[in-house]
């Protein structure tokens, strides 16, 4: 039988349907060319799949592939878009790790230094005790040895004379021996009446009283490593101070710190800052209270109505929801009459520029003290000529002013402390720009230095500045809780007060070259050597004569007495270097010699005391006994919350006009 052979193009039953060769667009079930796509099953369909997917939505395969590619491209873009964020986060976390490592090294250095100092103190005390032992023993031994020598001599004389007498008596009694025997008799008579120190003239007591239990306990508890696990991304704020607030009335915000998992932190000491920004860009002051249980309270007072922003930062990062939008409204006139407000805000951990805490304070700002009936207008002096071409519309004591709000040279954001050097320089602590700017007495910009950070040599919130006789520049860093020392060229040398200071605000230098530090947060004045050794400290929180409530700045007079502005006690206090009160003057009010929270202070060559009256936005002058003398006339360009103040080497007054983001130089008759 002959085999039947089919040609390739014959139409036999078995070959009526051609199978698609394996390819990219084939049906996975039948292996045939697919031209549709089932959206429900997410699979390609050939002509044999139709009955199984009749009720399913279908689109052309090319359209489905295009849509898939489009979605994939979109997701790729979204994921790639995260790379810069991850890169920034990586850099930031690395920076935090580096700061943590630097802080560890700094603390290790402090521990080594502190214990070396303690070892030295113990060695000194050991030497003193050994010396005291030798001196005491020597005095007692000398008395007893002298007594022994006297007794030995007496015993020897008596023994010798008795032996001679016994020998004479043993011999023959004769006239020839009579003379000798008479002499022996007289000697015996003399020895019989000889007074010898037979009773001890000293005792043998030499005891050591070493009360070591308390010392051991102190050493056992000496030093604490302080930290928290709080992170900004999980921490949150709550309270009425985030909602509607009333002009001039204290508002309160509670901050709850949490760890990375959202768990509430149970300990305090977190580094928290708070700033309320007013519409004109100035910063409202407030007080952060650490409850030591992981929660904090920020109390602030706003001087005017309007829309404001509250920035709450934990370790320099905004917490949840920060910055918050605030609406400040004015209370009814009746309410204002019943309960007039007073200045209640204190300096915050951010150490921002204070604002008035009084609803009337906003009205008072802009008034010149010279325009008040209560004040005696200070006559304009002929000392010096304006160093700027700007003509004052009103004749007053202003010579020139420098600065606007910003971050460039000659611009400021919350300037605080002021110092003047004998070499004709003006130094400004530019707090929120984390730097110090240096100008000539004529207002010409010279230099600036400072890098933001929490490591030695960096500045986090510089608030006070002073110039040491050696030329070194001393800077109080409120947030870093230490005082930094730089050369006159701005190179870092050392830091002091770390571990002791809680919130240094102002610094000064006394006649002995010691550094005076006003710790605003602990309400204490510290006196250090330039080496960092603590000489003395005095003061505590309260309203007593030797207590403070938010002290700000310091000056030293020719008697080496320390003058402190006591912000919330509305007074100025003068102390000896030992911390004894010499003088106190001032009370809360607007009259001559009264204060609404004094800040900057300086002393002229005659001992007169110049004080920046922050809440009343004026500068007052007092004699050395605290009696009011006059105002500096600021009518033409009124101050708004003056802070640091100093006398330049050419005898003018320079003041940090924080609310106006500038410093001003005034004529001053000494």
In angstroms, rounded to a whole number, what is the distance separating the alpha carbons of residues 284 and 640? 12
Cβ atoms of 314 and 322 within 8 Å: the answer is no
CA–CA distance, 115 with 95 (Å, rounded to integer): 30
Specify the pLDDT at position 34. 73
**The Cα angle at residue 99 between residues 415 and 472, in degrees rounded to 5:** 45
Residues of the chain with CATH 2.120.10.30: 398-666
- Residues of the chain with pLDDT below 50 are 1-21, 333-395
Q: With contact defined as beta carbons under 8 Å apart, do 30 and 47 qualify?
A: no
> Considering all CA atoms of the chain, what is the largest pairwise distance in Å, rounded to the nearest integer?
196
Residue 575 CB partners (closer than 8 Å, separation 6+): 525, 538, 546, 561, 562, 564, 581, 582
Tens digits of per-residue pLDDT, 453-470? Answer: 988 999 999 999 999 999
Cα separation values, 406 from 25, 431, 432, 617, Å: 63, 12, 10, 22
What are the tokens at 168?
């004479």
Cis peptide leading into residue 505 (ω within 30°): no
DSSP state of 190: H
Residue 293, pLDDT score: 93
**How high does pLDDT run on average in the chain?**
83
The 3-class SS string of 352-369 reads CCCCCCCCCHHHHCCCCH
CA distance 20 to 527: 94
- Backbone dihedral region for residue 536 (phi beyond 0: left; psi -120 to 50: alpha; all else: beta): beta
CA distance 606 to 136: 51
Q: Locate 319 and state its tokens.
A: 């917490």
In this predicted structure, what is the pLDDT of residue 466? 97
Order of all β-strands in the sheet with 642-647: 398-402, 662-666, 653-657, 642-647
Nearest alpha-carbon partner for 426 in 667, 644, 660: 644
The 10 Å Cβ neighbour count of residue 195 is: 7
Q: Which residue has the tokens 């001087």?
A: 303
Please give the pLDDT value at position 566: 95
* pLDDT at residue 363, rounded to an integer: 34
Tell me how far CA of residue 514 lies from CA of 445, 562, 577, in angstroms. 29, 11, 10
User: How far from the centroid of its chain's Cα atoms is residue 271's Cα?
Assistant: 10
In terms of residues, how long is the chain? 670
**CATH entry 2.60.40.10 includes domain 232-329:** yes
* Phi then psi dihedrals of residue 189, to 5 deg: -65, -40
Q: How many other C-beta atoms lie within 10 A of the C-beta of residue 82?
A: 10
* Rounded alpha-carbon distances, angstroms, from residue 155 to 182, 188, 197: 21, 13, 12
Side-chain-side CA neighbours of residue 382 (13 Å): 0
DSSP conformation class of 459: B
Which pLDDT does position 332 carry in this prediction?
Answer: 61
Structure tokens at 17: 């349907």
CATH number of 398-666: 2.120.10.30
Retrieve residue 447's tokens.
Answer: 């230099």
507, 517 Cβ separation under 8 angstroms: yes
Are residues 493 and 481 in contact, defined by beta-carbon separation less than 8 angstroms? no
Q: Which residues pair with 585 in a beta bridge?
A: 572
Where, residue-wise, is CATH 2.60.40.10 in the chain?
232-329
Residue pointed to by tokens 């010396």: 131
Specify the pLDDT at position 11. Answer: 41
Q: Give the pLDDT of residue 275.
A: 84
Strand intervals (E) in 39-185: 43-45, 58-60
Q: Are 638 and 369 in contact (CB under 8 A)?
A: no
In 342-441 the beta strands, taken as DSSP E runs, fall at: 398-402, 415-420, 425-430, 435-440
**Sole residue written with tokens 């002091």:** 496
DSSP string, 228-277: ---EEEEEEEESGGGSEEETTS-EEEEEEEE-TTSPBP------EEEEEE
Distances in Å between the Cα of 62 and the Cα atoms of 42, 46, 58 are: 13, 13, 12
User: Does pTM top 0.85 for this prediction?
Assistant: no
How far, in Å, CA of 353 to CA of 364, rounded? 17
Q: Are strands 244-246 and 324-329 parallel, antiparallel or unpaired?
A: parallel
For the chain, the straight-line distance linking the first and the last C-alpha, in angstroms and rounded, comes to 140
What is the tens place of the pLDDT at every residue in 119-128?
A: 888 888 888 8
> How far is residue 266's CA from residue 361's CA, in Å, rounded to a whole number?
39
pLDDT at position 439 is 97
């Amino acid at each position: 039988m002959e085999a039947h052979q089919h040609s390739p193009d014959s139409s036999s039953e078995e070959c009526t349907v051609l199978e698609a060769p394996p390819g990219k667009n084939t049906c996975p079930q039948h292996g045939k060319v697919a031209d549709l796509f089932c959206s429900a099953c997410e699979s390609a369909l050939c002509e044999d799949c139709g009955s199984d997917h009749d009720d399913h939505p279908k689109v052309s395969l090319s359209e489905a592939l295009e849509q898939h590619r489009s979605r994939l491209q979109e997701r790729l873009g979204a994921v790639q878009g995260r790379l810069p964020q991850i890169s920034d986060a990586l850099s930031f976390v690395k920076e935090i790790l580096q700061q943590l490592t630097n802080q560890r090294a700094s603390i290790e250095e402090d521990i080594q230094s502190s214990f070396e100092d303690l070892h030295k103190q113990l060695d000194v005390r050991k030497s003193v005790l050994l010396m005291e032992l030798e001196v005491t023993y020597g005095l007692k031994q000398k008395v007893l040895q002298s007594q022994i020598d006297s007794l030995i001599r007496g015993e020897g004389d008596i023994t010798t004379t008795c032996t001679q007498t016994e020998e004479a008596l043993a011999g023959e009694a004769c006239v020839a021996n009579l003379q000798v025997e008479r002499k022996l008799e007289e000697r015996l008579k003399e020895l019989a009446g000889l007074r010898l120190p037979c009773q001890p003239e000293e005792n043998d007591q030499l005891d050591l009283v070493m009360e070591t239990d308390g010392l051991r306990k102190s050493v056992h508890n000496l030093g604490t490593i302080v930290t928290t696990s709080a992170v900004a991304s999980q921490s949150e704020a709550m309270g009425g101070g985030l909602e509607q607030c009333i002009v001039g009335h204290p508002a309160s915000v509670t901050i709850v710190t949490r760890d990375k998992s959202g768990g509430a932190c149970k300990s305090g000491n977190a580094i928290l800052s708070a700033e309320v920004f007013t519409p004109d860009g100035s910063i409202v002051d407030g007080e952060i209270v650490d409850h030591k249980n992981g929660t904090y309270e920020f109390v602030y007072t706003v001087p005017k109505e309007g829309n404001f922003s509250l920035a709450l930062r934990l370790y320099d990062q905004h917490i949840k929801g920060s910055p918050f939008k605030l609406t400040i409204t004015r209370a009814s006139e009746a309410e204002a009459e019943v309960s007039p407000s007073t200045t209640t805000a204190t300096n915050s951990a951010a150490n921002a520029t204070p604002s008035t805490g009084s609803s009337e304070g906003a009205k008072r700002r802009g008034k010149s003290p010279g325009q008040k009936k209560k004040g005696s207008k200070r006559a304009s002096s002929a000392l010096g000529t304006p160093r700027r071409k700007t003509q004052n519309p009103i004749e007053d004591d202003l010579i020139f002013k420098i600065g606007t709000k910003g971050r460039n040279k000659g611009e400021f954001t919350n300037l605080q402390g002021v110092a003047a050097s004998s070499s004709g320089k003006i130094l400004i602590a530019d707090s929120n720009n984390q730097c110090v700017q240096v100008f000539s007495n004529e207002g010409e910009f010279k230099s600036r230095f400072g890098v933001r950070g929490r490591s030695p040599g960096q500045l986090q919130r510089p608030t006070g500045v002073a110039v040491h006789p050696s030329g070194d520049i001393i800077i109080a860093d409120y947030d870093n809780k230490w005082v930094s020392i730089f050369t006159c060229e701005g190179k870092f040398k050392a830091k002091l007060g770390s571990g002791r200071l809680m919130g240094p605000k102002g610094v000064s230098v006394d006649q002995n070259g010691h550094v005076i530090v006003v710790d605003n947060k602990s309400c204490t004045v510290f006196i250090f050597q330039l080496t960092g050794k603590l000489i003395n400290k005095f003061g505590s929180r309260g309203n007593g004569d030797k207590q403070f409530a938010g002290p700000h700045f310091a000056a030293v007079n020719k008697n080496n007495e320390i003058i402190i502005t006591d912000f919330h006690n509305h007074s100025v206090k003068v102390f000896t270097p030992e911390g004894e009160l010499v003088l106190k003057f001032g009370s809360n009010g607007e009259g001559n010699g009264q204060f609404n929270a004094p800040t900057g202070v300086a002393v002229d060559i005659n001992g007169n005391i110049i004080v920046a009256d922050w809440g009343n936005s004026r500068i007052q002058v007092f004699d050395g006994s605290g009696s009011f003398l006059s105002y500096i006339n600021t009518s033409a360009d009124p101050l708004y919350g003056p802070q640091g103040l100093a006398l330049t080497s050419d005898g003018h007054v320079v003041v940090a006009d924080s609310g106006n983001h500038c410093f001003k130089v005034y004529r001053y008759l000494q």
